[in-house]
Structure 1
Amino acid sequence: MEAIAGVNPRAKSIPTTANKKFTITVKVEPDGQTMQLDGRVAWAMKQLVNAGKDGCTPITHPGPRWSDYTFKIRKLGFVVETVHEAHGGQFPGHHARYILHTDVSILPEGLAA
């Protein structure tokens, strides 16, 4: 179909590839228990593992629902500390820093036990 002058043709709204959720498999050290995490919880866990003892804040690792992600991670049995920090600037206030205390490693894709 030809485009009408001044009107752009519509793009297809149906994706041509399947949307895959972000998934990771974590291993709790030292006992070796593994668990698969999906979606935003998986994304948040990866951020926490990579941040180490410095932890994550919504400022350093932007994400819309950090409190929800950490709530769900805690519900799975992982230990996550919340440290409340003040910040200045044009819009002073406070934010949370989330620190993972459970010793966890992320397994390479396909190596779940």
Structure 2
Amino acid sequence: MKLNVTLLGGDCHRSFTLSGRVGQTLHHLMQAKGQGVTSLENPALRLAAYIHSLRELGFVIDTESEPHDGPYPGYHARYRLLSKVILERDQDGGAI
């Protein structure tokens, strides 16, 4: 998956082509809107690493710690995209 996106805000807009799991993670964050994403709902072994990569590019992503039950109770992270992002087109040139 390759996405062409524009990150709004700051002194000027910045455009990126994101691919692989980082692009997929941004796409999931954009689709989830205010609900956010977790590794429990969208299994990804390295979700925190993909979030870190997006943050290094300048995307603002909130992290909320949530408790969970089950055989291994504990906490997991819920990530929410706070940045304004325009998704322009996919690699095939189609509008999204």
Residues 49, 105 of structure 1: 8 Å contact kept = no
Find the partner of 1:67 among 40, 44, 48.
48
Query: SS of the counterpart of 1:90?
Result: coil
Correspondence 1:69-108 to 2 at 5 A? 69-108=50-89
Residues 7, 59 of structure 2: 8 Å contact kept = no
Residues 85, 94 of structure 1: 8 Å contact kept = yes
Runs of 4+ aligned residues of structure 1 deviating over 3 Å after TM superposition are 29-33
Report what 2:14 is aligned to.
33
Name the Cα RMSD after superposition: 1.6
Is there any run of 5+ residues in structure 2 with no aligned partner, and where? none
What's the offset of the Cα at 1:53? 0.8
Is there any run of 5+ residues in structure 1 with no aligned partner, and where? 1-21
Q: Which amino acid letter does the alignment assign opposite residue 2 of structure 2?
A: T
TM-score by length of 1: 0.72
Q: Deviations over 1:38-70 (max 9, x none)?
A: 111001000001000110000111111011000
Percentage identity across aligned positions? 33
Give 1 or 2: higher helix fraction.
2
What's the offset of the Cα at 1:108? 2.1
